[in-house]
Amino acid sequence: QVQLVESGGGLVQPGGSLRLSCAASGFALVYYTIGWFRQAPGKEREGVACISSSGRSTYYADSVKGRFTISRDSAKNTVYLQMSSLKPEDTAIYYCAKSSYSDGPTCRRPSFVGSWGQGTQVTVSS
C-alpha cells in the first residue's frame, strides 16, 4: 500500500526557512518521479518541485527557483523540500506526490500523479 506522509510545515516569518519531509512507504523512490505541489486558498494546485526517478533531473516552478531545493535520501525512502527566503505568497498546503511514471513532466501535469500525501500547512507571516 502506497503511503506518503508529509511533515515539517508550520508558521515562519518572511525571509525564514523550513524543510518539509515526505516519508514514502509501499514503493521505492528510485522507480518514480516524486514531486511537491501546493495549493493556496482559492487557487489551483500547482507543481512546485519534482525529482526524477534517477535523482539526476529536477524541475522547479519559476516562482520558487533559487529559493527551494528538492532532494531525496533513497536509504530512508524520503524526499525533502528545503525552502528558503520564504514569502507570504508561499503560504499554502504542501502535498507530496508520487507519479505513476519514472519520468515525465509530473510537476506540470498533475494528471501524472498516482498518489498524494495528506498535506502539510505552511504559513509565512509576520
Q: Over the stretch 74-86, which tens digit does the pLDDT of each residue have?
A: 999 999 999 999 9
42 CB burial (10 A radius; 0-12, 13-18, 19+)? exposed
Which residues 6+ apart lie within 8 Å of 106 measured at CB?
Answer: 33, 35, 47, 50, 97, 99, 112, 113
Query: How confident is the model at residue 15, as a pLDDT?
Result: 98
pLDDT at 102 (0 to 100): 84
Average pLDDT rounded to a whole number, residues 12-22: 98
Asked if the model's pLDDT at residue 14 lies above 90, the reply is yes
pLDDT band at 118 (very low <50, low <70, confident <90, very high): very high
pLDDT at position 32 over 90: yes
pLDDT at 12 over 90: yes
Q: How does pLDDT run across 35-63, given as a tens digit for each residue?
A: 999 999 999 999 999 999 999 999 999 99
pLDDT confidence of residue 103:
86
CA separation for the pair 82, 70 (Å, rounded): 6
pLDDT band at residue 104 under the 50/70/90 scheme: confident
- In the predicted structure, residue 89 carries a pLDDT above the cut 90: yes
